[in-house]
Amino acid sequence: MVIEHPPAVCCAFFLRVPVEEVPGRYRYIRLHVESWREDGYLETPHPPAVGDRIALTDQLAGIDGVFVVLRREWFHTAYESPMWPAGTGAPKRGPLLEIVVEAATSELLADELNWADEAEDHTQV
């Protein structure tokens, strides 16, 4: 029996934006990531984990930047469904992973010591 590998994970991204009028509440904007299927999903065998930083572009909404992954939720295809017909070893398409992100508030190399500052003695307070 040949074991078929499932396709890549289909990642859907939702940008969490605070609502200024209601502290502690958010709006979620679905980001449309360009892909060969033109469906807004990023297909990858290596989806980002919670805490990861990822650069995303939604050309339709004009949103572009680096984001931090806050939450993830998986949806797997059921056997004998249209996406995973009976008698086949793997689904036609990988599982769906919905990912909530927010804009990164710092650079990847935050608080890096400037090369010019290294010559100074930083042990004195």
pLDDT digits (tens, 9 = 90+) for 57-94: 998 999 999 999 999 999 988 888 888 888 888 777 88
- Taking CB atoms within 8 Å and a gap of at least 24, the contacts of 63-68 are 63/15, 63/29, 63/31, 65/103, 65/104, 66/103, 66/104, 66/108, 67/13, 67/15, 67/101, 67/102, 67/103, 67/104, 68/101, 68/102, 68/103, 68/104
Does residue 109 register a pLDDT over 70? yes
Is-contact 113 120, C-beta < 8 A?
no
pLDDT for res 117: 64
Q: What is the mean pLDDT of residues 1-24?
A: 85
Chain-centre distance of CA 42, in angstroms? 8
pTM: 0.79
Does residue 31 register a pLDDT over 90? yes
